[in-house]
């Protein structure tokens, strides 16, 4: 019998869906044979929209590859629960099992990594807000700021998640520590990241306690939801952790920069986004100087994911090498003195 990792991507997903249906029946009081399951993605996690007959939908997330340990997933769910209760920003609210647990271990035959299932309420709306529509950028900024305000003002003493800083992302990330990752980057790419790390690490160490706290960690435009009524919700907290709030800001703006084709559209969005953010909480005093290093840190975060996932997941392999090449080229240009993509003049 082949190991799970040797199975074709579609076969893996089919097997994981069957296991998820069984877990929903056993642990959540749902009829797993009757629910309708629409796959949303399958990279490190397999994610479905789960709709019971005549009922409201859920999102089921089965973590099968490099997943967070169960105690870290429980921290994620507690934060989501606290955010949902605050009613300041819309997030998917966790669903506990019939015995009150946030996550369920799932045994995947032939798989050598622990797997866990989490179930959450589906957040209504549409992903990737229409960023050029009037008012949307400001709402995205306000939602980001409310997330950070909650992190700065609501204590969660047992929050146990990764720390997203220079050491974790640059020094210890897969791109530089995993031989397969270095192979994906190539000699010149690996050298570029080492040099970038040397240049930006001092800036990434700046800032006081008020500049750091719980962050989403992967707050790109596709993890933001246009809600009925015009507000913005936030989804996919799988990479949440602690770090500088500017990493979330850089992640949002970087993701818009990649799609803003019309001249001036990105700058217009950034001004409106930051105006919305500062209606809720102030930006760090050194935003103009520190923003560019956090754009680079965000792309290093992406390299870590892609460099490890491209060899293990067919979906990532279809777009991963081109993304790696693009980021490496941008970093090499930065080292030659060019502004990093997404950088802003003083706003």
Per-residue pLDDT of 22-53, as tens digits, reads 999 999 999 999 999 999 999 889 999 999 99
pLDDT at 111: 92
> Cβ(211)–Cβ(249) under 8 Å?
no
At 68 the three-state DSSP class reads coil
pLDDT at 318: 83
Angle at alpha carbon of residue 293, lines to 304 and 237, rounded to 5°? 50
Report the CATH number of the 4-122 domain. Answer: 3.30.200.20
Please give the radius of gyration of the chain, using alpha carbons only, rounded to the nearest integer: 20
| Fold category of 136-335 in CATH | Aminoglycoside 3'-phosphotransferase; Chain: A, domain 2 (3.90.1200)
pLDDT digits (tens, 9 = 90+) for 202-219: 999 999 889 999 999 999
> Cβ(90)–Cβ(121) under 8 Å?
no
H helices present in the chain, as ranges: 9-27, 70-86, 136-153, 166, 174-177, 179-204, 245-257, 265-278, 287-309, 314-335
Sorted by where each begins, the domain ranges of the chain are 4-122, 136-335
pTM: predicted TM-score of the whole model, two decimal places:
0.94
Which tokens is 304 given? Answer: 């870590």
Which tokens is 46 given? Answer: 């397999």
Q: Which of 8-12, 114-118, 278-282, 343-347 has the lowest mean pLDDT?
A: 343-347
pLDDT digits (tens, 9 = 90+) for 262-279: 889 999 999 999 999 999
pLDDT at 66: 64
pLDDT at 285: 81
User: What DSSP string runs through 160-194?
Assistant: ---EESHIIIIISSHHHH-HHHHHHHHHHHHHHHH
Half-sphere exposure in the Cβ direction for 91 (13 Å, CA): 28
| Mean pLDDT of the region 124-147 | 96
pLDDT at 341 exceeding the cut of 90: yes
> Cβ(32)–Cβ(104) under 8 Å?
no
At 196 the three-state DSSP class reads helix
> Cβ(219)–Cβ(144) under 8 Å?
yes
Residue 80 CA to residue 68 CA, distance in Å, equals 16
From the centroid of its chain, how far is CA 281? 22
pLDDT at 182 exceeding the cut of 90: no
């Amino acid at each position: 019998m082949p190991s799970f990792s040797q199975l074709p991507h579609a076969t893996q997903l089919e097997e994981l869906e069957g296991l998820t249906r069984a877990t929903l029946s056993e642990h959540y009081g749902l009829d797993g044979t009757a629910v309708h399951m629409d796959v949303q993605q399958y990279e490190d996690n397999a994610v479905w929209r789960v709709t019971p007959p005549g009922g409201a939908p859920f999102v089921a997330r089965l973590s099968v590859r490099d997943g967070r340990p169960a105690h870290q997933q429980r921290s994620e769910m507690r934060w989501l629960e606290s955010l949902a209760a605050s009613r300041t920003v819309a997030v998917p609210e966790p669903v506990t099992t019939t015995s009150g647990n946030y996550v369920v271990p799932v045994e995947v035959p032939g798989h050598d990594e622990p797997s866990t299932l989490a179930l959450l309420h589906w957040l209504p709306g549409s992903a990737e807000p229409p960023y050029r529509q009037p008012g949307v950028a400001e709402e995205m900024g306000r939602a980001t700021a409310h997330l950070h305000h909650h992190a700065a003002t609501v204590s969660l003493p047992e929050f146990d998640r990764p720390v997203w800083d220079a050491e974790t992302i640059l020094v210890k990330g897969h791109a530089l520590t995993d031989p397969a990752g270095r192979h994906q980057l190539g000699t010149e790419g690996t050298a570029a990241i080492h040099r970038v790390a040397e240049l930006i690490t001092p800036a990434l160490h700046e800032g006081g306690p008020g500049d750091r706290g719980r962050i989403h960690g992967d707050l790109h435009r596709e993890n933001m939801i246009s809600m009925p009524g015009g507000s913005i919700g936030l989804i996919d907290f799988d990479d949440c952790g602690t770090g500088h709030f500017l990493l979330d800001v850089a992640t949002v703006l970087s993701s818009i920069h990649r799609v803003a084709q019309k001249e001036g559209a990105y700058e217009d969005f950034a001004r409106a986004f930051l105006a919305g953010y500062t209606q809720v909480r102030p930006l760090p005093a050194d935003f103009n100087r520190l923003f560019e290093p956090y754009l680079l840190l965000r792309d290093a975060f992406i390299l870590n994911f892609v460099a490890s996932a491209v060899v293990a997941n067919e979906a990532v392999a279809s777009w991963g090498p081109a993304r790696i090449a693009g980021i490496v080229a941008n970093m090499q240009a930065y080292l030659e003195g060019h502004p990093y993509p997404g950088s802003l003049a003083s706003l």
